[in-house]
Every structure is written in C-alpha cells, then in structure tokens.
Structure 1
Amino acid sequence: MSLKAFIHVQHLLGTGHVVRASAIGRALAARGVEVTLATGNRIPQTVETAGLRIVDLPPVRTVDARFNRFVTPDGREIDDDWRAARRQATLDAFMSEDFDLLLTETYPFGRRPFAFELDTLVEAAKSLPRPAFVATSIRDILVRKQEIHKEEWMAKRALASYDRILVHSDPEFVKLEASFPFAKDVDHLVRYTGYVGGANAPEAPEGLGEDEVIVSCGGGAVGQHLLEAAVDAASLSRRAEDTTWRILAGHDIADDVMETLLRRAPAHVAVERVRRDFPSLLKRARASVSQAGYNTVLDILNAGIPAVFVPFAQIRETEQQQRAEALAAKGCAVVIPEKTLTPEGLAAALDDALALPRNPFQVRLGGAQASAEILLSDLKERFS
C-alpha cells in the first residue's frame, strides 16, 4: 500500500511558493508516494504538476505587499463566509483520503492570515486514528517581522504541532538564524535540503538568448517598475547596447502594461511574457537583470552569468534584499535598491556587473529530491 501525501500551498504575489511545493510533490511522486497538491491560487502554466492530483481551493490573492487585504479573482474582499467555505473545502480535501503526510508550505513561518484554515488542517492531521506526520517547507530566508512576538509565535506553533521543518537552503551560504531569531528553539526539527529548483525546463529555440541581456521579474504580478526602467536602460548601457535585451513579464502583469512596454521598446528590445525555457535562455545570455526571488536567483546561479538584482522591497519585504546582498558579497552581482531605480542607474549597474570577474558561486542543489528522501525516512521511522 503506497504512502499518501497532502501538500498545501498558498502563493499570493509571486510564484516561488507553488514552484517549490510542486517540485517536492513531484519528487515524492517519483518515489511512489500518491501526492495531492491543494492550492489556493491559480497555478501558472510555467509550473509542472505532472503526476500530482491537484485540488483547486477557493482562490485568493493579496492586494499588495502589506499582505493584510485579500481578494477573490473578481476583486471581492474575503469575509468570514468566504473563510468558512475555504476552511471547509480544505478540510474536505484532506479528509477524503487517509493521508500519511501533511506538508504546509511556509506556515507557520508565514501565511498567518490563513491560520483560520491551516490550524484546522493541522489539527485534523494530528487527530486522525493514525496521526499524520506534519512538516513545513520554508525557503532560505524568511521575511522579518516588526513585532518580535510574532516570530516567537512561529517557533511555539512549530514546536507544538510540527514533526519536521524543511529549510530549502545551503547552510554554507545562509542558515535559518540569519532571518529567524528563534532558530535555536526549533533546531532539532530542522533539516537543510539544499535549494529547490523547478521542473526540467525545455531548451529554448536555437540562437534565442545568445549573448542577450535577460530582464525578468518572476512569474507573478510585481516588477512593473523594473520592466519600465529596463526598456529605457537598454539604449544607455555602454557594455550591452549592442545586443538584444529580452524583457520577460510575469503572467499577472496587466495587458495594458504589456502594450505600453511593447510600444516604447526600441528595435533591439524584445518584450514578452515569462517563458518556461527561461533557465536555458539565461545559460546563453551575457547578463541577467532581475529581482532577487528564490527561483530566479537559483536559475541565475546555475547559469553562472553576471547579474544585477533589484530586490522587491515594498512595504516590509526584507527577504529579497537579504538574498541579493549575500550574493553581492560573494562578488557575483550588483544590487540596486528598488526605490532609487532609474534607467540611468540600471544601465550603469549592468555595466558594473559585466566588469566583474567571472566568479560563479555554487550552492547545494537537489532540494526537492533531498526533501523527499528526508520525509520518506521520517515516515518510515514513524510508521514502521
């Protein structure tokens, strides 16, 4: 009888959360586990979900980076009735089968506004006649909270209800304590997996990406300012004005923004939506200009090309800034604050990045596979 896993993921602005969750799901499925992925937002077409059973929960997204107002696809703000329906849908999906493993992506180290749903889910898992093994999946760097008691709550919640904390990082590069002050309290639950990449990306058509500057802002709805600055910066760079700039916009960037970018773009600038062959484009490119999201940075490190990072840093976001600065300290990137971004500054930063000595920085990879092996070992110990 095969093991069964239930993975819950809620991405709100970017797509990194669902990319990691689906990658771990596929790694478990490849090892014979029946995997259900319950998602609270639309899964982008660029995310591979083959081999997973997908449960579409009532979808929701955030209004902005404050993460304190949430709306349905038609723009209605969620209310108590919506929360009750969402909680019941999640519980029904989980109780429909006898799951051996519950994996909550981020929670309780984030997504606290969804505690109304996730606490019920975790309690259900722990209350089964044969309690499920409960684990959480978190990225390399957490967003710091202004109130220390919220971070203390995260540790207490994990200690009370969780059996394992998977940290998708290379501890030689960044450890949990770099962004979480209560890391020592939960250290016995932590396992570092290495970085989690996405699916094997298709190869780009021959010649595409060759010696280009690839500008990207992830697969979500943020990054418009970066894309607009890049359109103008393409004609200002001294070291890269002679090559194609390929600007890739997330699927949730508005159509009217895309039309404006296309209209303003000079002849040597291509503007299109984000592509599944993005990693192979990077490997052929002269340089990358991007935000500093988890998956994008991983693709850039794999490509080993010079990079300019413009970290997403709206409201209280700290995660991308910390990741970008850590890479800049390794001598393989230049960082520009989002709030001071101009076309002139972006062009100058790219010229500086292209002047850096080639210094590829390697991090531990294979995080999805390592996560699957850790969890299977945990399950074997629990249920043997």
Structure 2
Amino acid sequence: MKRHVLIAVTHLLGAGHLTRMAALARGLARAGHHVTLASGGMPAPLVRLDGVTLLQLPSLRSDGVDFRTLLDAEGNKASPALMQERAERLAKAVTEGRPDVVITELFPFGRRMLAAEFIRLIQAARALKPAPLLLASVRDVLVAPARAERIAEAEARLLAAYNGVLVHGDEAVLPLSASWPESDRLRPLLHYTGYVDEGADRPQAPATDALPEGDFILVSGGASAAAMPLYRATIAAAGLLPEHPFRLLIGQSVAPALFDELAMAAPANCTIERARPDFRTLLARCAASVSLAGYNTVTDLIRTRARAVLVPFEEGNETEQRQRAEHLAASGIAELVPQAALSGERLAEAIARALSRPRPQALAVALDGVERTTTIIERLCAGRSRAAAPAIVSRDENRAWAELDEALDVLARTGRRVGLWWRDDDAVQPSQALDRLLVLSARTGVPVAIAAIPSQAGHDLAVRLAAAPQASVFVHGFAHANHAPAGEKKAEFGPHRDRAEMERELRSSLAMARAIFGEKLVPVFVPPWNRCVPALAPTLAHTGYAGLSLFGDRTAPDMAGLPLVNTHLDPIDWHGSRSLAEPARLLAGLAEAIRRRAGGIADADEPIGLLTHHLVHDEAVWAFCERLLTNLRNSSAVEPVSALALFGHTPRR
C-alpha cells in the first residue's frame, strides 16, 4: 500500500544527517511511497533526491561547533521570526499533506535548540484523524547529555508521542546502549535497521583520473570546514611521504579562501580538489583512505574494504566519531589518530602502518539499512492499520462504531461533556505489557490509575510508575486471594470472612501501599473481582481511604460517605475466549451510557470508566483499547479525568 512519508531533518555542520535521510527517502520512493523531505539545513549540492519532494525550510547552520548558536543563511543569528516561520511551515506540511508517517531525525535525542519546531510538528501530527505513525530516526552512536534530566526529558517525549525509534546501526556490532542509557521503557520502541549505505543506489561512473589503481592516498573530510585540521596535517604528512600521491577532496561548503590556502600549501605530490560524486569509486581504488569517522564515511569504508586511517572529529565535546573509530580500530580495519594528537608526523606514521596491512576482510555488518527501514515502516503501518481497522470487521461492529460517534456528536451539541477515566488492575511488577499500557496512556492523553496488589508489589514497580507522570496508584485488595467457598463468585473481601480480619488487611494494605508508592498513591480501594461487603465502607473511610471503585453504574455518588467512582467497560471476555469480548456489544453499551448522560437519565457527574488488565491483554484487546481511547479522546464531548481530580485527594507529604 502506498504511503505518504514526511521526514524532517536539519543538518547544522556537515551534511551527514541530510545525506543519510536522503538515502532513506530515495529508498522509500523506490518502494512506491510518496516522500517529502523537509530539510532545515544549508543546501547540499551533492545530495541526491531522486523521486523525492524537497521542502526546503529557511536554512540554519551552527556557529562552528557551537550548536547552541544558530545562524541563518547569511551568517546572522537566527531571528525569532525565522524560527517561527520554520515551525509553521513544518506544521503546514503535516496539516495539508496529511502524511501517514512522520519521521523526526535525531529529535528528541538531540536538536534541543530546535525543540519548539519539532514539538509544533508533533502537535500537528497528533491533531490529524487518524494520527500518522510517528518515528524518531537516529544513527548508531549518540552523544548523551551530561545532565540526567535531559535524558529523562527525551525519553518522556518518546513515550508520550512516538510509535518507534529507527536505530540506523547493527545491534550486534554497536548497540545504542553503548552511547545512550537504554531503559526498559525505551527498549520496546527500538527498531534496528542496519547501517544506511548512502551510496548503494549510486551509479558509479569510472574515476576520470590517470592514476593507476592503488597508488594514491585519498583524503576526505565531509562537506564542512570541520576537517581543516585534518587537511593541514595531511599536507604536512604528504611532504614526509613524497613517494605516495595524495588526493585531498575538499567539501563543497568549505570557503574558497580556505580552499586556496590548502592549494597554496600543498607539495607537488598532493592534489587539491573539490568533493566529487564518484567518491566511492575513488575510495575502492585508493591505496589508503584518511578521513574523519562520520557515519556515512565509515559505511563507505566498510563497503569498499579500503585501508583506513581515522581521525575522529572531537571538537565541542563531540564523542560520537571517537567511539565509532575506536570500534573499527579494535576490529583491526583502521588506524586511529586522536584529534588531540594530530600532526603531520603522527598521521604519516599511521598511513605507513595502514599501507603495510593487507586490504581488510569484509566485516559482518548489516549494510542494508535502506531496505530494512522501508520494511520496518511498512510493517508498522500495516500493524497500525490492522489495529485501527481490522481486516475482517462485522457489519454490526461497523454500525456500533458509527453509533458511538453519533452518540458523542449528540452529546457535543448539548454543550455538555462526559468524563473519561481509566483503571487498570492487578499490577505487581514492571513488564513489557505495563510499558505498553503506559505508552498508550501517554500517547492518547488519558491518565491511568494502576490498581496494584500491595502484598505483592515492590520497589521496582514504584520506580517504574514514578517515571510515568500520567499514572497514579490505587490499592487493589491485600493479596488478591479468593476466600469464597467453591461454587460462589470469587471475592477477597466478601461476606465469607471474619470482619475484623478484613479490617486488619485493609489497614495493612494502605500502610504498605503508602510505604511503596509514596506520593504516587491515591488511597482508593479497589476490591479484587470488584466485590466488597458494603459494611466495610465506614472502616475504609475511618482508616484513611479517599474513595472506592467497583464496576457498573453506581446508584449513589458515595457508599456510607465514602466517594464511589466505578468503571463501566471491560473489553475482556472473561467467561469465554478470555480475548476481546464482542466489540459490537461493548460499543453499543458505551453508546447507550453516553446517550443516558446526554438525556439526563444516568448519573451525569460520574465519568465513564474503562477497566483493563494489562497482564492478560492479547493483540485484539490492545488494538480495541487503542482505537477506543483515540476515538473518545478526539471527541469534543469527552474530557479525560485523572484519579486525583476524581477523588479530590492531595498526596500526604
């Protein structure tokens, strides 16, 4: 199925970020998708965009390695008006283009200075119905912020809005965790694509020079002037190695004055020229390559198996290239010269060592990143489509969704709104299912109250929930143990037990929950199986509970003075398949509940509650919940309500 993909990228120094995303864009276009590449950096003449629509934003670049200072195309400090224009043009590309997929390159892992425009883009995307798939795109190595709160901020943004992270590397070779803290919450979002080989689809014309194969040292440094120290050291090294011809390829963005400086200083065995489109052909033919350790250059080196000397760019506290270069040096396919130790002599020695080695063996590295990325995006889109609209949907279910929308529209026309709240039962410890639940809550904007079992929950669950601002905690019984006689409905706090024993457990449950969850706790009692002896309500209130939550329409807003807020829709077929209950029946009941509130028949002050059990959800249940929450959240007649707002509780300090 053809998709519209919008890729947003801004390169600030070299052109590597743009080059990589252009390669992905071309690959998606070759697969039949419509691709828009929104580029916010300076134009790069050698970057190909075959079959891709370019949206050139007002250009920005960094002030050298000072990435906190952004300059416009004329070299002036970027104005607020220019930044606003960029943000609005990105948002317009979403609202008018209605992409199926939006990819933000590097953000939110980096590009914090551009956060406002990326957030504007994300907001525009989430406002669409249906919202597009939102993916982040990162290279194999990142530069983690020194401040822990910056890492937490990036992760929070990912969990709140993103459907996945495309990691353009090989996990078996260099996992993301080597450069970025990879939490249990982040890990389910990661999709390793392999390395993006930018030149894989490039027609390789023969080089037009007269040098025999293998006789020359090829020196390259990317598009910008960041490689000037390397160029100058190479000229000095060429003077020390007069028997070897040198070819210096100078980036297109390097100023003419700097180009002339190098040409004037070069010895007779050193040719200075601008970067060429047949770079990879030259790389495959050279005796040795001298370069920085950028992503695209290293990919070219692995592909061509060229002997290599790497001088990683390390100015401005950059660590990315050094880490990549150290890995290749440890693999025995490259010589490493740290930038701090760079000199003509050190570089000449490294070149001599590289020349003494045989051509490197092929590394077992995945270089099909373009193809894998395309496959991953198509698979995620297909899965999202199945979740939003299953391939086989009954006529009754289609009618039920339509009736739900109609009931919401009727309520909206009255000017009233219905509250929506969400309770999830049986939490004990962190899990991938819990992560999925919290991501869904953050993405849909519907807070979730986690009913945790006090005697089984522990510190790990508390730590996980502490990082989820949209989640609160309820007290879910004591041990979730059934005390009902055989043949009767299950209950932990039913009429079958001694009342004094139950009261002791109620006090213990609250004390344990407070000790474990602290300020995350909203002291609301949720009895297992939603059954509780009414006579316990005064004890709950006296003990310190702020409310009670069961299942089904309430007949009064409190029970013996204790606030009561129930849930009303449970999507699981507990007495049958234990998968998704009949959707048409669920939706019909929900539509009726909304109509009753619109007509003043039901308790209009009680919000509609969704009850889930994340530990037993299968894909059918997850898909239904996501569609339902998205559908309700996008209605102007629905207002998500948090547990704190429902029970009016201020956590005890």
* TM-score bin, normalised by smaller chain: over 0.9
TM-score, normalised with respect to structure 2: 0.57
Contact persistence 1:221–1:251 (CA under 8 A): no
- 2:266 is matched with 265
- 2:232 is matched with 228
- 1:254 is matched with 255
Contact persistence 1:66–1:316 (CA under 8 A): no
- 1:39 is matched with 39
The answer to whether the aligner puts 1:350 opposite 2:351 as a matched pair is yes
Q: What displacement does 1:229 show? A: 1.0
Q: What does residue range 127-276 of structure 1 map to in structure 2 within 5 Å? A: 127-199=127-199, 200-201=201-202, 202-205=204-207, 210-211=213-214, 212-237=216-241, 241-276=242-277
- 1:337 is matched with 338
For the residues of structure 2 that align with 1:179 and 1:185, how far apart are their CA atoms?
Answer: 17
Q: Cα gap change, 1:183/1:245 in structure 2, threshold over 3 Å: closer, same or farther?
A: farther
- 2:15 is matched with 15
- 1:365 is matched with 367
2:97 alignment partner, SS class: coil
Gaps of 5+ in 2: 387-653
**One-letter amino acid of the counterpart of residue 143, structure 1:** V
Instruction: Tell me the alpha carbon deviations over residues 152-203 of structure 1, each in whole angstroms, 9 at most, x when there is no partner.
Output: 2212211111101110101121001000013443111111111001143332
Q: What does residue range 63-74 of structure 1 map to in structure 2 within 5 Å? A: 63-74=63-74
1:222 alignment partner, SS class: helix
Q: Cα gap change, 1:54/1:328 in structure 2, threshold over 3 Å: closer, same or farther?
A: same
Instruction: Tell me the alpha carbon deviations over residues 225-244 of structure 1, each in whole angstroms, 9 at most, x when there is no partner.
Output: 1101111211213xxx4232
How many residues align structurally?
Answer: 381
For the residues of structure 2 that align with 1:164 and 1:68, how far apart are their CA atoms?
Answer: 27
- 2:300 is matched with 299
**One-letter amino acid of the counterpart of residue 87, structure 1:** A
For the residues of structure 1 that align with 2:142 and 2:159, how far apart are their CA atoms?
Answer: 18
1:55 alignment partner, SS class: strand
The answer to whether the aligner puts 1:29 opposite 2:33 as a matched pair is no
The answer to whether the aligner puts 1:3 opposite 2:7 as a matched pair is no
**One-letter amino acid of the counterpart of residue 374, structure 1:** I
- 1:320 is matched with 321
For the residues of structure 2 that align with 1:383 and 1:281, how far apart are their CA atoms?
Answer: 45
- 2:379 is matched with 377
With 129-138 and 152-161 compared, the bigger mean Cα shift is at 152-161
Gaps of 5+ in 1: none
Q: What displacement does 1:361 show? A: 4.4
For the residues of structure 2 that align with 1:380 and 1:7, how far apart are their CA atoms?
Answer: 19
1:230 alignment partner, SS class: helix
Q: Cα gap change, 1:243/1:310 in structure 2, threshold over 3 Å: closer, same or farther?
A: same
2:67 alignment partner, SS class: coil
Q: Runs of 4+ in structure 1 displaced over 3 angstroms? A: 206-209, 356-359
For the residues of structure 1 that align with 2:66 and 2:152, how far apart are their CA atoms?
Answer: 20
Q: What displacement does 1:366 show? A: 1.0
Structure number with greater Rg is 2
Contact persistence 2:42–2:61 (CA under 8 A): no
Instruction: Tell me the alpha carbon deviations over residues 107-160 of structure 1, each in whole angstroms, 9 at most, x when there is no partner.
Output: 111111111100110121112111000001100000132212212221221111
Instruction: Tell me the alpha carbon deviations over residues 299-320 of structure 1, each in whole angstroms, 9 at most, x when there is no partner.
Output: 1111112211110000210000
For the residues of structure 2 that align with 1:81 and 1:208, how far apart are their CA atoms?
Answer: 52
2:374 alignment partner, SS class: helix
For the residues of structure 1 that align with 2:357 and 2:180, how far apart are their CA atoms?
Answer: 32
**One-letter amino acid of the counterpart of residue 189, structure 1:** L
For the residues of structure 1 that align with 2:169 and 2:362, how far apart are their CA atoms?
Answer: 14
Q: What displacement does 1:208 show? A: 5.3
Counting aligned pairs with the same residue, the percent is 36
Structure with higher RCO (Cα < 8 A, 6+ apart): 1
With 346-355 and 356-365 compared, the bigger mean Cα shift is at 356-365
Contact persistence 1:311–1:321 (CA under 8 A): yes
Instruction: Tell me the alpha carbon deviations over residues 209-232 of structure 1, each in whole angstroms, 9 at most, x when there is no partner.
Output: 622110010122311111011112
Contact persistence 1:197–1:295 (CA under 8 A): yes
1:104 alignment partner, SS class: strand
**One-letter amino acid of the counterpart of residue 383, structure 2:** E
For the residues of structure 1 that align with 2:294 and 2:132, how far apart are their CA atoms?
Answer: 32
1:46 alignment partner, SS class: coil
Instruction: Tell me the alpha carbon deviations over residues 337-378 of structure 1, each in whole angstroms, 9 at most, x when there is no partner.
Output: 112211111101111222335432421111011101100111
With 268-277 and 287-296 compared, the bigger mean Cα shift is at 268-277
1:117 alignment partner, SS class: helix
What RMSD in Å do the two structures reach over aligned CA positions? 1.5
Q: Cα gap change, 1:338/1:35 in structure 2, threshold over 3 Å: closer, same or farther?
A: same
**One-letter amino acid of the counterpart of residue 325, structure 1:** E
- 1:126 is matched with 126
